[in-house]
Structure 1
Amino acid sequence: MKQKFPFILLSVVAVAMVMTIANAVIFEQVRAEGKRQAQVHVETSLRLFWHLLHSKGKGSYFHEDRGRLLVGSYVINGNSDVPDEVLAITGNRATVFMGDTRVATNVEDRHGRRAIGTKLTSPVYDMVIRKGLPYRGDARVLGKPYVTAYDPIKDASGKTIGALFVGVESDRRALGLKVVAINTAEAAIFLSFGLFVLHIRRRSADAIHKQFRFLQVLLDTIPSPIFVKDRAGRYCECNVAYEEFVQVKREDLVGRTVHDLWPVHLADQYHRMDLELFAGGGVQTYECSVKSAAGTHLDVIFLKAVYRDAAGLPAGLVGVILDITERRKQERALREAQSDLMYASRLAGMAETATIVLHNVGNVLNSVNVSAGIINQCIRSSKAPALRKAVGMMQEHRDDLAAYLSTDDRGKLLPEYLAKVVEVMEMEHQDIEKEIDALIRSVEHIKQIVVTQQRFAGTTSIVEHLQVRDLVSDALRMDADSAAGSGVTIVEDIDEMQEFSLDRARVLQILVNLIRNAKQAVCAREGSGGRITISAGVVDEESLRISIADDGIGIPAENLTRIFNHGFTTRRNGNGFGLHSCALAAKGMGGSLTVHSDGPGSGATFTLTLPIGA
């Protein structure tokens, strides 16, 4: 018995040493695995953090505005909803930094309050803010050890303007307690494991095989060709659709490369794209035209992504081929249809422009007719024949003209008669001169209308420095014939203003149409008389506003939304071109034309608004 004791003691010591070493190894492995799992967890939480913020900003860039950090229109400063959502989902703390300052966080200071306004410290500050690079690993956050993940926040120009943080607090004592618990249960687990290992391996193998078959069936039900390659570019898996695409069975495809399937120029292109994907990672998308193994020319999109092994290194790629041949045909047909539609629209636009020109020229021709009529009346009622008769009488007595003018009864009246004739003819001359001037200005306006409509097809606009009062006067004069005998009273309420840079032809076109429509609305109501008020002034030092209000028949509510539509009219002899062309002209000057009416019998007000300098 005494001989066995040293052996037993030695065995116990040896076992204790082995268990101590094993415990140390297990502790380090558990610690390393715990740290790795924690890092993976915070990495996943950080991606969730990015996703939630981009959802708030609807995919927009981060930017700074007046001392605030925003993503899109979502203000981050002082708004910890997203960090709290990350904490609720993952259990990890989260922070948004603007520059190096916490502006949204659920990390707490020593008083248990949100640590808003505290600073980011080195070495994280140097890596993330100064260099604009991510940081992963252990770091102290307000004096406490954390497993952390930091990403820089960059604006649209690539400038670093802040950072995102997700972390979990390290608890080494808790980790040690876990190791003790593991060691305590180690013996029992070891014994149990020996009994169940064969059974588990068999069930695991069956489950893996069943899962593999399910995935294979799932792949085969997808109609788009799918393939898998290893790091060397060799095919290792595909679905039925890819077999049909390359006309090669799956068992014959495995182990082959693109150079075994495709012509050299295509194989080189595919191989080059694979190498670029392995070098850059992520997802690769590109379009090309291919010829399938069946000889059909196809337009396709390649979608490829790298998959990685347990060490995080590229292990291969998965690719999907999307056939967009039919879509390309439809796009070509759509482009042809759009081209035909544009041509038809151009013809329609030319016809509409011609109609508008004729309508506006017709308005001005009314004033031309008025001027021509007045000139014709002046000529017909001219005193020139009487003057000719008086001159004839003087020529008959040219030999005794002095005696004739002083002694003859008719000769004595001749000088006074000539004076009156001259006075009347001077008045006739002034009237004719005035109407000729009006006629010239009307013809000039017709020319401007034509030039303006020609400019609608281009991008130029000719402006002049003009007084609004003068434009209103010209518009009233051009429409003077429609007011004759109507009994309509026109009131001008125009503020004293400086000259503005305006497109004379377009503004006159609008005013003439609006004044004529207002007179027609007033004359169409029951009873005589009526009133039109033309007012003009500057609004907010930015816009010129000209309003033409009448107390005519008014406009029903259902017509207010379509009164500017091409071809819309309520008059029996109307054509629906005038207001439509006015709205186009206002829009062409960067302004607007609007209408208001309280309904039938309440009159209407049309308002032209133009930016100053239009």
Structure 2
Amino acid sequence: MPLLANRVLELTMRLGVVRFGLLIAAFEILFSMLVTVVLRGIVVGELHWIDYLRPVLFGLIIAPWLALFFTYLIKQLGVSRDKLAQAHRKQQALNAELKRKVDELNREIDERHNAEAQKQQAIRYLQREVAERRETQIKLRDNAVQLRSLIDSSPDLIYYRNTEGVYSGCNVAYEQLVNMKEADLIGLKPEDVYEEQIAEQVRITDGKVLDDHESLTYEQWMTYPDGHKALFEFRKVPFADARGNLQGLFGFGRDITERKHAANALEQAARDKTTFISTISHELRTPLNGIVGLSRIMRDSELSEEQHDFINTIYLSAVTLGNIFNDIIDLDKLERQQLEVAPVPIHLPELIADIRALATLMCRDKKLTFDYQQNGELPAVVEIDGTRLRQVLWNLLGNAIKFTTTGQVALAIDIRPAKHGKVDVDFSVLDTGVGIASEELDKIFAMYYQVSDQGKTKAVGTGIGLSVSQRLTQAMGGEIKVSSKVGKGSRFTVSLSLPVLTEDQLPGAENIELPALHALLVEDIELNVVVARSVLENLGCTVDVAMNGTDALRMAREGDYDVLFLDIQLPDMTGFDIAEELMNDPNPRLRDTPRIALTANVIRDKQEYIKRGMQDAVSKPIDVGLLTLALGKAFDCIEESAQQEVKVVEPVGHQEEQVLEIDFVTQMHDTLGSELFLKSADMFAQLMPDYVESMRNQLLAGDDKAVAEVAHKVKGAAGSVGLRRVQKIAAQAQDLEHPAWKQNIDDWVEGMASFYSSDLDELRQQLLAMDESY
């Protein structure tokens, strides 16, 4: 039907409305005529002309209206078609838009599907992350619990405070100390917890830690709630966040009461041991001093050659025994790292002659041959600690003779000139004994080490001789070497660089003329009295004897004595006590009477004796020459030039040289002047107590690096004011690579603590002398 309408409409549009109307009218007339004719013919059976006319007239009448109707109908059909076309176009546009919308919807659906898939993936990832975080939180919580359990189970105190000094937490041990739960402690300050004195100490140490950003260790006595006191070692450490911002400090405290008691017990044991060694050495020396003194007196008397040899052998043997006592003392000093040497001018050929005589005697007893070899000219006078050199060589010769059963022992000396007024000397001790295996050569200088039995000679003795000898050689600025072959023998070589002096620099008493002196000898040992009286009387003195301190003070006040000789150890008091009494006596004669100490102890620094009231000190066995020098100085019997030379070479002068860096002090005095330089010294004096305390605290804390860092500061500070001795000790203390650092550091720290004050006094005296000389 739409197709027919379209065809009609197309025909109308092609013919036009008028033609199409006429065609419709003609079609209607013909159709009407045909119908009439057919119906008339069928119904009536005959046709008349009216029958043909009537359809024409009817057609002519109805045709215009029919044409009009069809024309209107066609127009409406056209309009409808246009509307339908427009609607069709709109429909197409709508379809296209719909298709576009459908495509967009499909894309959106796809995107949503993808987003949903991504969402599901993200959900699964988040679920995994949540699970991992939950697991991490559980682990962190477990770790926190473990850490907290560890902190709470620690016997040490642990606490932490912020930069304002407010507590943020603590462990159980700290709760027990302050008698307060952590929840109650948080938010409080030290003054809310401690008594004022301790709180002030806490504030000061907290301030140092937070201001300097450095850890701090100190000791503090604390009182528990039950009233018992304990010594704690507190260590405070600053802590910062991840950005480096300071947040506060951690505090740790350890009860070191028992450790302190143990350390005190050890120190007391060491003091007791030292006292015992000193006492027994003194007691052993007492009869030995008599043997040495009397044998020396007899050696200088009228004797036959054979008698002189016998007496000389007794004398040398007694001196050798004295050196064995020195080994005993040195053993104690080795353990405390306080072995010392005191170089003085000596007559080297005489020392070598004594050693040769003793070695010959010892070899004769074992039927060994002793050989002496010398390459080069032996200097007459050198500066060396003769006692220590003799001790080293006797130790080596004694070992060589001990481990040699047949053959010979030899002493070979090689002398080579050196620069700056010195001579290099090698003292070699050779033997044909059992020898030492190569794998043991690096062990023989260890304390108490003894070479394993080679099948010929069993090692006897304590095993300290070589260790002592090595330390003494090093202390004298030399070295000791060894080479050996098993069954062939050994060679020990001591190499030293010795300052060469002239004969007039050798302290001597030959040209000293002493006045007739009335002397009071204070000595409690009869044998020592006999020896000392004989020596003094040979010097032209008249001698009175007091056997104890009480009698000595009484006789000194009642009598008129020119000089007092004081033994240090007496039954009722010490020689220092007597000297102090006399120095404080109102009688000026007693205050001014020269006092000379006679002591069996090894004298290393006469300055200590002088500070305690003596004018001089002479060791036992009494050396006549040194005693004469002491009297000559006391009574001005030495020419001024000679006295100056003696002062240069005495141990006190040597000590003074070691105390200060004289060239540097002189330069600073000339550049800055005494006043400004003394300000630097005073600043050093103010700094040293803190430095010493810091090193002691770090030693207790076991922080070797911190000790070395403070020692480095001390070295620089001491060097800036010319304190050579303190600087040298500090240089050793700062060297953590030093092979004996652990063994020495305690003594080094205490050495710096004990020396710096007296060394500063020496510096002030030196500057005063420089000012007076200008």
Bin of the TM-score, shorter chain as denominator length: 0.3 to 0.5
Task: Name the one with the larger helix percent.
Answer: 2
Higher strand proportion, which one? 1
CA radius of gyration, larger in: 2
Q: TM-score of the superposition, structure 2-length normalised?
A: 0.34
